[in-house]
Structure 1
Amino acid sequence: MDRHPACDEDIYAWTQEQARLLREASAVRVNLPLDFAHLAEEIEGMGKSDRRSVQSALARVIEHLLKLEFSPAADPCGGWRKSVREQRAAALDALDDSPSLRGRIDLVTAWRRGRGFAVDGLNQNRVDERLLPDECPYDLDQPLDDDWWPANRHALD
């Protein structure tokens, strides 16, 4: 018996499988008044939307982790920690709904975007963007771990 992912176990895997099955049904010309091609595209798009939301949340987590690590400012830190907690929760909720998304996360892209956002914010505090690593120093578990926080480099001086 074929085992298909259940919608309530992994939404992303389910959407991708349903899109594939609709395309197969369309190819064999199942005689139903359904627009298989567009249905498949829409269902597949639902899963891709979830993936984009996880990527976006991860980029924001990375942005604020970098600000916490590299900013000499003390006042906005509470807001950055709050943002990290909120975005971690959003990403983790989506990953709970779709565990297969974890393997589809593009950490390099999330890093590039998050670093860019952080550079924009840190420039206001006169932080040289060359201080920030070019490549992601985090593994995927760190930005998603509720208990992990980077040390502030200015506190170490």
Structure 2
Amino acid sequence: MTQTPIAISLYEQDYLLWIEDTVNKLRSRNIEGLDFENLIEEIEDLGRSDKRELENRLVELLEHILKRNYVNMTDCYRGWVESIIKQRIGIRKLLKNSPSLKPYFSQVFDEAYTDALKIVRNGYPQFEFPDTWPFSCDIEAMLNVDFWEE
């Protein structure tokens, strides 16, 4: 019995070539030749990627703010503050490029805090951390206020 070979799409064979081909087809308005299913999936993934990046940056921001406020290890302060600055810059840039992510920041804040709390409690079991976020969770405060100086 002869098996019929399964057709493998360009998307599955060579992702970069598929992107180049798709861009060329879009530029030439060749709608008939577009691989709509994979194009739709890729565009959806772009939005999910921005959301994941925001969540990851927020967890790390919260983690280092907690460490800076509650872990009495002065030799580490500089590194934690540097990380806080980097995450704030990254979040600002992300929100500048995708302002519609601002409401998402509030939606994922509590979950991000829970994740950050797990990380710091695991790494520093000898220190006490608050069960709930003790500071303003307003996006402007999170991106600008040095809570350890209050």
- Which structure 2 residues correspond to residues 5-154 of structure 1 after superposition, within 5 A? 32-105=32-105, 106-123=108-125, 126-127=126-127, 131-137=128-134, 138-141=136-139, 142-145=141-144, 148-151=145-148
3-state secondary structure, aligned to 1:32: helix
TM-score, reference length from structure 1: 0.67
TM-score, reference length from structure 2: 0.70
* 8 Å contact kept, 1:95–1:101: yes
Give the number of the structure whose residues are more often helix, by fraction.
2
Q: Report the AA paired with residue 44 of structure 2.
A: E
Identity of aligned residues (%): 29
Tell me the distance in 2 between the aligned counterparts of 1:135 and 1:41: 37
3-state secondary structure, aligned to 1:81: helix
Tell me the distance in 2 between the aligned counterparts of 1:118 and 1:55: 17
The higher radius of gyration belongs to 2
Q: Number of paired residues? A: 116
Q: CA deviation at 1:33?
A: 2.4
Q: Report the AA paired with residue 46 of structure 1.
A: L
Deviations 1:42-73 (Å, cap 9, x if unpaired)? Answer: 11101110111111111101001001111111
Structure 1: gaps of 5 or more residues: 1-30
Q: 1:89 to 1:110 in 2, by over 3 A?
A: same
Deviations 1:65-103 (Å, cap 9, x if unpaired)? Answer: 001111111110110000000011111110110000011
Q: CA deviation at 1:152?
A: 7.4
Structure 2: gaps of 5 or more residues: 1-30
Aligned-residue CA RMSD (Å): 1.9
* 8 Å contact kept, 1:70–1:152: no
Q: Report the AA paired with residue 92 of structure 1.
A: R
Instruction: Pick 1 or 2: higher relative contact order, CA cutoff 8 A, min separation 6.
Output: 1
Quick check: 114-123 or 88-97, which moved more? 114-123
Q: CA deviation at 1:34?
A: 1.9
